[in-house]
Amino acid sequence: MNRRDFLKIASLTPFAGMMPEILSANALHKPLNPQEKIVVLVELRGGNDALNTLIPYHDAEYYKLRPTLGIHENHLLKLKNGMGMHASLRPLQQYWDKGEMAWIQGLGYNNPNRSHFRSREIWETASQQKQHHQKGWVTQLFTGNDQINGVSMSEELGPLAGKHSRNLKIGSLDGFIRRSERMKSTTHQSTNSALNHILRTEQEVLRSAGDLREKLDKTRSLAGYFSKTPLGSELASVARLINSGINIPAYKVDLGDFDTHINQAGNHAALLNSLASNLDTFAKVMKRIGKWQNVIVVTYSEFGRKAQENSSKGTDHGLAGAHLVMGGSVKGHQIYGKTPSLTRLDNGSIQHTQDFRSVYSTLAQHWWKKPSPWKHPTINFV
């Protein structure tokens, strides 16, 4: 379903048809819960080309570096200060205009790694160059409590990783609940550590399904409002969990493959369009259920791509990225951070102007009101 269809349904059934079903009792009758602070992390797998996402169209150097991939200023959405966004992001323009969406540019880290896997690990665990953390950055913030702290609807837990940390990897919500019925409750403990891990995971599934079942029973699936794409169904599940009234601080979904070494233009446009239209639907649903003030959507990706396009009309692994944040509480209509230089490149790549951990510090301190283990300055986006 695209945005237009959604609006059509919404307008045909103003408050009578869709609303009561979609709204949980919680949202209808109770005032907004200021304690509910939700972050939805959207991983752009493969390294999103920041330069063709948030475009410095005033900079002549951009068009020199991108003779075929450069996007003419008449074909992009102008934001401010000579920066524009890719036309495929049009569904998000309204949030920018209303001040509910911002960009953070020049995000990266020192001694960068151009390997997908290592750089992804660095972004997801906030580790230093030679450190390896077992726990994702979100898990590091939420330790020692007894709630479900995060749910990943995508292949990997990523920022939510960490053994027995009450962060769940879920394929489908109904499947998760249904399959939990196959697990047997046990207090059995074994000296066999592999067996113990299996038993503990089973108990975690049983317990979490217990926490979720009753709430989910009261809220129906919202999949009908979302596109039939993997990202659409992942966001539909997130929306349903949020609508159920269960207070889970972090969610993870993903979209890919942004590793556009070859013939980038069409593929990249399609990916950004999928991102934008799915996030638009998600935002509309959040507004309808009265949770938009409680949610911040943040994208991330392991790196940006080289400034210079390659000979296959694509771009190779680069460094700094630009990411969007949106939500009812976001201080939007802003581009945070210094625009990276297109003349001082590192091996053809845009160098970062701020550390990506600043985003995590900001979410920790200003949103979740938790001390940040990362000593990087916060950004004013919330």
Partner 1 sequence: MNQLSFSDARHLTVRTGLGEEWHIIKKRQGRTRAEVINNLVRSKSDWTQPIPRLTSWKRWSYLVKKGGVSQLQATELLRKDKQALQEWWLGTMLNTYNPIVERMVMFWHNHFTSSLDKVNQPELILKQNQLFRHLALGNFKVLLREVARDPAMMIYLDCNVNGKGEGKDEPNENFARELLELYTLGEGNYTEEDVRSAAKAFTGWSVDRDKKKFIFKRQRHDYSAITFLGHTGRLSGDDIIKILLQRPETAINISKKFWKEFINDEAPDMPTIHAWAGRFRGSNYEISALMKAVLNSKAFWTTSNRGTKVKSPVELIVGTLRALPIQVPVPAESTAMKRLTDFCHSLGQKLFVPPNPAGWAGGDHWINTHTIGARKNMLVNFTHINSKNTLYSIPRLSVKGLSTWLLATTPISPLPKESASNREKVSSLLQDPSYQLT
Q: Which residues bind partner 1 (CB under 8 A)?
A: 115-117, 156-157, 163, 168-171, 175-176, 179-180, 182-184, 186, 188, 192-195, 197-199, 201-202, 204-205, 208, 257, 262-263, 266, 308, 312, 316, 347-348
User: Among residues 264 and 334, whose Cβ is nearest to partner 1?
Assistant: 264
The smaller minimum CB distance to partner 1, of residues 88 and 105, is found at 88
Q: How far is the CB of 194 from partner 1 (least distance, A)?
A: 5
Least Å distance, CB 121 to partner 1, is 9
The residue (of 20 and 266) whose beta carbon lies closer to partner 1 is 266
What is the smallest separation between the CB atom of 37 and partner 1, expressed in angstroms? 23
Tell me whether residue 37 or residue 252 sits nearer to partner 1 (CB atom): 252
Q: Which two tokens stand for residue 88?
A: 């495929």
Q: State which residue, 80 or 179, has the beta carbon closest to partner 1.
A: 179
Helices (H) and strands (E) in the chain, counts: 12, 14
Q: Considering beta carbons, is residue 54 or 161 the nearer one to partner 1? A: 161
CB 346 within 8 A of CB 295: no
Which residues does 265 contact at the CB level (< 8 Å), separation at least 6? 68, 69, 313
Min separation Cβ 179 and partner 1, Å: 3
Of 11 and 111, the one with the shorter C-beta distance to partner 1 is 111
CB of 60 to partner 1, least distance (A): 21
Choice between 12 and 262, CB closer to partner 1: 262
Q: Is the peptide bond before 259 cis (omega within 30 degrees of 0)?
A: no
Q: Is 10 exposed, middle or buried (0-12, 13-18, 19+ CB in 10 A)?
A: middle
Contacts of 66 (CB under 8 A, 6+ apart): 51, 52, 307, 308, 309
- Could you list the beta-strand ranges (E) of 109-222: 150-152, 167-169
- The SS3 assignment for 375 reads coil
CB of 289 to partner 1, least distance (A): 25
CB of 15 to partner 1, least distance (A): 37
The DSSP string of 261-320 is -SSHHHHHHHHHHHHHHHHHHHHHHHHHTT-GGGEEEEEE-S--B-SS--TTSS--B-S-
Give dist(CA 364, CA 32) in Å, integer: 21
| Minimum distance of partner 1 from residue 182's CB (angstroms) | 4
Q: How far apart are CA 17 and CA 309, in angstroms?
A: 50
Distance CA 164, CA 293 (A): 30
Choose between 74 and 110: whose C-beta lies nearer to partner 1. 110
Q: Are 61 and 342 in contact (CB under 8 A)?
A: yes
Look at residues 132, 104, 103 and name the one whose alpha carbon lies nearest to residue 120.
132
What tokens were used for 311? Answer: 């000979």
Q: Least distance to partner 1 from the beta carbon of 210, Å?
A: 13
